[in-house]
Structure 1
């Protein structure tokens, strides 16, 4: 009975609490639930991203290490280039020709391995040739340049001229009589390579009896140069400056002489068979006994040139100007094309 009374009293107390405004505990709002979910999602995403962040950090560290290693490698390579250059220069100062040759070919290899150094090497080698061809010239018949000079010229001839940059290709007044052949036969391409002297300055140089067959001398300066009895077969001399040059007795078979400036030049007894002399300027040039069969002289300027006993058999003289030419009556024009040619009697 006492237990029932106790239960009844508890119910009454509960009812009074309800009537006085008591409320049951409130549930968590939906906004709070969404916030909790979002936090959990961000936590999961962050956890999932940690391996990627670690990989990115490793990649950045590796890149920085590679950059540092690359810079160190460049410094080391530059140091090697400087060392090789200094060693070659030291060899050039030797009194022994074999050591000097080693220095020359060391510079050749350096040009190949470090193209940026080529302008410096070209300037150095041309200075070497000038210095070692000064003074008295060996007057013996057939005597050529010293072995080291020939080697230096061969190195220069076989470089890539496109890399010359600001190199000073100055070979003025050098004595290179009987200069030997510098070309290299390319078995794969079946042609001669090398002998690259475009835009070189050979003003006043002695190149008598030099073997310059297949040479590239386009745009070169050969003012007052001596090329007597030189071999220039199949060479390229287009736009070269040959004012007052002496090419007496030289061989210019199939040579490209288009656009040359050769006022007052000497071509006595020169063989220019099948040569290209289109638009060549040959005013007052001497062509005494010159041989020009099948040559291309279209648009050439031969005003006041000496044509005594010159042979123009089969040559193309279209638009050529012979006004004031000397001894034209003794020249041979058999089968020559003379369309619009000026200054020659019919």
Structure 2
């Protein structure tokens, strides 16, 4: 009896602790349910705003979804898919007769939200921007205070197939592995952009600026690089078969192991470029290209 009596205080304390733990768990679960309900309410409100005929209301919905992505990262894949669908729908149907037409305010807002999201939370979000018309898209990069440098937009592995990005400002953009087959990028600004492993088959990059861009291992067979600025670009192991590089500017570009078979090199400038191991077999207008100071070790296809 003495032993039982002496144990009672400990049992009571243990029971109180257990009761407290259960209460805390119940409270936590109720809080999570309430928070989830709040997220759902915010999501539904933002979706409703996107259907409004008033552009300011639609913008409010777009930026509401941006805040929701930050507050609830698990919902980001759904929001990414929703905003890309919004851009596809609105940018595609705004095909204008004027070559100077710019993206509508709400479309540019949606692209800005997508561009500056945290890609680490994308999950399986559908980043499908095929056939969009985003001529003259403005710059969307940000200044990183911590690193004291510009951080470009981030669209890794996005699908821009057959899109029109003429004169778009994509400087510093992160487009690693992006699919841009048949994409129009005429006069676009892509200086220091990251395009390694991107698919640029039959893309039109005439008169674009790709100074110091990362173009390693790009698949650009049949692409147009006429009058394009590629000074210092990294193009190691790039597939440029049948590409047109008429009057392209490639001083100090790195083209080690690049495939330039049957490419049109009329008046292309390879001054100081590194073409070690590149294949120029069957290249057109090779005699008009300039190779002053270029590294041509093990380069194939050059006249003896």
TM surpasses 0.5: yes
Secondary structure class of the residue paired with 1:128: helix
| Normalised TM-score (structure 2) | 0.98
Distance 2:4 2:164 in 1: 82
Distance 1:292 1:129 in 2: 35
Q: Deviations over 1:51-85 (max 9, x none)?
A: 21111100100111111111111111110010000
Partner residue of 1:295? 253
The Cα shift of 1:264 comes to 0.2
Distance 1:142 1:100 in 2: 24
Distance 1:220 1:152 in 2: 19
Partner residue of 2:176? 218
Partner residue of 1:40? none
Number of matched residues?
304
Distance 2:192 2:144 in 1: 16
The Cα shift of 1:345 comes to 1.9
Distance 1:336 1:73 in 2: 67
The Cα shift of 1:330 comes to 0.3
Q: Deviations over 1:291-330 (max 9, x none)?
A: 0000000010000000000000000100000011000100
The Cα shift of 1:237 comes to 0.4
Secondary structure class of the residue paired with 2:150: strand
Secondary structure class of the residue paired with 1:185: strand
5 Å matches for 1:230-269? 230-269=188-227
Larger C-alpha radius of gyration, 1 or 2?
1
Q: Structure 2 unaligned segments of length 5 or more: list them.
A: none
Q: Deviations over 1:242-265 (max 9, x none)?
A: 000000000001000000000000
Write 1 or 2 for the structure with the bigger share of helix: 1
1:113 to 71, 79, 95: 71
Secondary structure class of the residue paired with 1:132: helix
Distance 2:169 2:83 in 1: 20
Partner residue of 2:38? 80
